[in-house]
Structures are given as structure tokens and as C-alpha cells.
Amino acid sequence: MKLLEDKIREVGRVLPGDVLKVDTFLNHQVDPKLMAEMGKEFAKLFANDDITRIVTVESSGIAPAVMAGLYMDVPVVFARKHKSLTLTDDVYTSEVFSYTKQTSNQISIDKRFIKENDKLLIIDDFLANGQAVQGLLDIAKQANVDVNGIGIVIEKTYQKGHDLIAETGIHLESLAEIKSLEDGKVTFVND
């Protein structure tokens, strides 16, 4: 998605440790018009996947997921993150390890918000090691529903998340595919 790639080129900051900071428009300050364009793009890319519901993880997934939900006319559910959770029968939970923060979180979704026969679209802001997506796939498995699509805002194609998803055969679309952050420079697959 050219609009997004241009924005990343313009304001994205590459920091030591293979970090791309996009807090100017995505995960701290948010550019609502860009989010809306991203939502339209997701709606187009997953138009033939019979999606009935979008799931994401708080907080940075919420803005793109809600915009996608608006243009696809489906409800959105954001999984809650917890340091630790008192398990109850009311929620699906999964463990998500964050490589960036080197901590583990539990994510949970209330069982009322995934229905039998749902066809889920997972949306997230970043795909790197794929831990958040795997947590949501795990929850979908517990709920015994299909995941028909995975929509990512920014993918680091050289990390292991891409292959993990490829193995599942699920329709994956990333709006910006990054090939490298070497020498402090963002290189896209399209470049």
C-alpha cells in the first residue's frame, strides 16, 4: 500500500535492535485518515473470504481493526492483555511472548464474542515473530472456528512470523512488507 509505505519512509524511525518506530501515526499518535484508508484496503483484500468477525489485540491493533470492521461491516473484538489472569470458564486465553519487551502476557477473549461458524480475520499492527497472531490462532482453535484471513499493517518479512503463517495456509496480507532495516534504512519488498 503505497500511502502507507510513503508514510513509513517519511516519519518511521529505525532504532538499534531492528526496531521500526511508527508512533507518529500508528501506535501512540494515530492518523485517522490513514487508518480509514487501511481499513478500506483490508476490506478489499479480504472481500472474498466470507469474514464474519475481526479479532485483534489491544492496544495498537484497535484502530486499524475498527476501520476494517467499518468497511467490512463486521464486529471487531480486541483481546485483552493481562500480566496474569485468574482463569475462568468464561474466557478463551493464550500466552503471548513479546520479544520486544521480553515479557510474557496472557491475552483473553470473552467466549460470548466468538460464535459458532464464525470466520475470523485476525488484524494486527506488526508481524515479526508472530507471537500475537499465534495467540489469536490458538484462541480460534479453542473456540473451534475458522480463521480465514490475517491482515497485518507492517510485516518484517525476514522474521519467522511469515513462515509460521505460511505453514497454516491462511490468506495473509500485509499492507507494508519490509525486507530490511539495515544501516538505519527501511527497504520494502517492492523497492
Binding residues: 20, 27, 128-132, 156
Residue indicated by cell numbers 480509514: 36
Residue 29 grid cell: 499518535
Min dist CB 64 to a second copy, Å, is 9
Do residues 149 and 137 make contact, with C-beta atoms less than 8 angstroms apart?
A: no
Q: Quick one: 101 or 183, whose CB is closer to a second copy?
A: 101
Interface pick for a second copy out of 2, 9, 33, 141 (rule CB under 8 A): 33
Residue 171 grid cell: 490468506
Distances (CA, A) of 149 to 3, 40, 111, 126: 22, 15, 20, 15
Binding-site residue ranges for 5-phospho-alpha-D-ribose 1-diphosphate: 128-132
In the DSSP assignment, the letter for residue 42 is: H
Do residues 119 and 53 make contact, with C-beta atoms less than 8 angstroms apart?
A: yes
Interface pick for a second copy out of 78, 106, 128, 147 (rule CB under 8 A): 78
- Asked if residue 140 binds a second copy (CB under 8 A), the reply is no
Q: Quick one: 153 or 165, whose CB is closer to a second copy?
A: 153
Name residue 22's amino acid: V
In sign, the C-alpha dihedral spanning 8, 58, 118, 75 is negative
- Asked if residue 36 binds a second copy (CB under 8 A), the reply is yes
- Asked if residue 63 binds a second copy (CB under 8 A), the reply is yes
Q: Quick one: 75 or 158, whose CB is closer to a second copy?
A: 75
Q: Contact residues for a second copy (CB under 8 A)?
A: 23-24, 28-33, 35-36, 58-59, 62-63, 65-67, 69-70, 73-78, 80, 109-110, 112-113
